[in-house]
Amino acid sequence: MEKNLNHLEQLRDHILRRIPERRVETIEDAYYFIEEVGFCHLMTDGRDNMPSLYVAVCGRRDVRLPRNVQSDAETSLTWHLKDELARLGAAFYAKQLQNIPTFIALDLVPYFYALYSCSPAFSPQKFSSDAIAIYRSLRRESPQTTAQLKLSSGIEERKRFDKALEELQLAMQVVMSEVRYVPKFTYVWELAAVRFPEQLRKPKRISRQDALRHLITNYLATVRYATARQAQCLFRCSPAETGRALEQLESQSLIRTFAESNTVLLIADEDRLPPRRIDLEKASAW
């Protein structure tokens, strides 16, 4: 098993760009990286078993976020790439996984939307009054800067505003579409349906269970192995839902499972579940 895991770690080095020759240096590299992995965290060090743009920028395994993040070249480049990717709309930027800033490749957005979307317009009882106020304000006018949105929604208190915005981001209703540094640092917010109309039109045809199965398949194709608990926590789904998805993947021989003490290990089949491939025709459009 140990030998097998070493082999999988080497595969990960290639896929997650933890080797110098594959490190992300340009906006094109960053776009291709997200297309290859499907979805990734922004600024994590990879210990959470998730692809990370920051790790890909560093191009090595042993990554630790420095204390002085703003004066660090690798961190600055990652932030710059985040700003550019969001501005170009090359990937969906949200706090979708574990409440951590995440980039999602556009082809996977409908699956995330099928799993998490919930609109205040149709389910107002699920949202706080602050979230509904922000959503309505953006329906009247989108996009808006943070300051404009605070004013127009009537929620000036930062803590309340951040919490409400987080609700809407988790429900994939609002996205950050731009970062402005002058005259004042601010984010620009936009309705997700306006920013990504094509991706958010489709999901009604995808069931929640199908979406979860598709996303776990994508996850394991990228990281090659994970524990069942990691897969469950990542997508914030119940053990029963995750269990059903994993059973289906195992019955299709896409993954193999191993039980060790209290841990269930999931390993992607090398032949039946290869890593994602980039759609070069689509990618060249960017």
Residue among 187, 186, 194, 178 nearest 135 (CA) = 194
Check binding of 182 to DNA (CB under 7 A): yes
Kindly tell me which of 85 and 211 has the beta carbon lying closer to DNA. Answer: 85
Check binding of 101 to DNA (CB under 7 A): yes
Check binding of 104 to DNA (CB under 7 A): no
CB of 16 closer than 8 Å to CB of 37: yes
Kindly tell me which of 44 and 137 has the beta carbon lying closer to DNA. Answer: 44
Kindly tell me which of 5 and 151 has the beta carbon lying closer to DNA. Answer: 151
How many residues sit in the footprint of DNA (CB under 7 A)?
A: 29
CB of 34 closer than 8 Å to CB of 91: yes
Check binding of 84 to DNA (CB under 7 A): no
2, 62, 125, 159: which one binds DNA (CB under 7 A): 159
Bridge partners of residue 185, in order along the sequence = none
Determine the Cα–Cα distance for residues 101 and 241; give it in Å rounded to an integer.
24
Site for DNA in 225-264 (CB under 7 A): 233
What angle, rounded to 10 degrees, do the helices at 208-223 and 239-251 form? 70
**Minimum CB distance to DNA, residue 13 (Å):** 20
Determine the Cα–Cα distance for residues 231 and 215; give it in Å rounded to an integer.
10
35 by Cβ neighbours in 10 Å (0-12 / 13-18 / 19+) ranks as buried
Determine the Cα–Cα distance for residues 131 and 269; give it in Å rounded to an integer.
43
Q: Which stretch in 7-15, 182-190, 252-260, 274-282 sits in contact with DNA by CB under 7 A?
A: 182-190
Kindly tell me which of 101 and 120 has the beta carbon lying closer to DNA. Answer: 101
11, 27, 43, 106: which one binds DNA (CB under 7 A): 43
Q: Which residues contribute to the site for DNA (CB under 7 A)?
A: 41-45, 65, 67-71, 95, 99-101, 146-147, 158-159, 162, 176, 181-187, 233
